[in-house]
Amino acid sequence: MHTQKEDYIKNNIVVYTALFGDYDELIEIPEGMHKCDFICFTDQKIENKKGWEIIKIENSSGSNVLQNRKYKILPHVFLSEYEYSVYIDSNIRLLKSPESLVIKYLQDVDIALPKHFERDCIYTESEMCISSGKAIQKEVELLVDEIRSAGFPEKYGLAENNIIMRRHNSESIIKLMESWWDIFSKSGYPKRDQLSLMYLLWLLNIEYKYMDESSRNNNSFFRFKMHKNANSMPFLKKIAFYISSTRDQNMLHRLAFEIISILSNIKKKIN
């Protein structure tokens, strides 16, 4: 039997994504899943709506990354008429309507998101961003110096921010999201949102929950899909990347990932 609060939650949920630039193909919402609203903010011409309400946005910033994060981070600005939001990256396939997840996680906290599949520390993540070329070293170091000076501990935890569930109009979440946007959009700071969210949760003393369900493990809600630009990868590299990204879906993927890792380490030693 549903409680009054559960019924309220179910009637006040929006699922949304933000697709800017020719980065991904919009993934279809399965038929029969229209218990809540599905909104896509985009600057792309999308003729097949695939179950989404399309809100066309002029990309005035000139940066697809900045524009995506603005809508990702600030639902209280753009979706204030809803009490609860479920943000998903545009490469995540939704298999099942997420009302039960919102009820599961947002009864006593205002934000929930998946744990990072590989790392548990902003400092380790920052090193990876530099070594992989995903961020500019001096920008990362500027942010890390600020975080370290504030006393943020190592191995505090790390979220994979490709799914975010929020009660986004709560005072604490508005403060958190405004602070997150301030850091992310700040000139001279890295455009990697994983490098600041956990720090701000700690700094503002905001309770959160890690979700058991992610786009990378085996569950009935989400599935990972490679970004559109992965199509240009060499075939074997593409397979290896997919296996690495979905290693937690089943034992076969985990075994394949371990084999690929061993072979990769052998190759590095030989070279």
Task: Provide the pLDDT for residue 265.
Answer: 67
Do 184 and 243 fall into the same domain?
Answer: no
pTM of this structure: 0.86
pLDDT value for 39: 96
Same domain, 252 and 174: no
What are the φ and ψ backbone dihedral angles of 159, each rounded to 5 degrees? -105, 150
Q: Measure the CA angle with vertex 119, ends 204 and 94; round to 5°.
A: 85
Residue 106's domain comprises: 4-116+159-211
Nearest alpha carbon to residue 180 among 162, 157, 204: 204
Q: What is the pLDDT of residue 228?
A: 63
Regions of the chain with pLDDT less than 50: 1
> pLDDT tens digits, residue range 56-112?
998 777 789 999 999 999 999 999 999 999 999 999 999 999 999 999 999 999 999
pLDDT for 248 equals 67
CA distances from 51 to 12, 15, 153, 169, 269 (A): 18, 11, 43, 25, 50
| Residue-wise pLDDT tens digits, 16-33 | 999 998 877 888 898 877
pLDDT for res 66: 93
Helical axes 235-245 vs 251-270, angle rounded to 10°:
120
In a domain, residue 217? The reply is no
CATH code of 33's domain: 3.90.550.10
Clarify whether residues 109 and 187 are in a common domain. Answer: yes
Q: How far are the Cα atoms of 32, 39, 55, 61, 99 from residue 14, in angstroms, in the given order?
A: 16, 7, 14, 25, 10
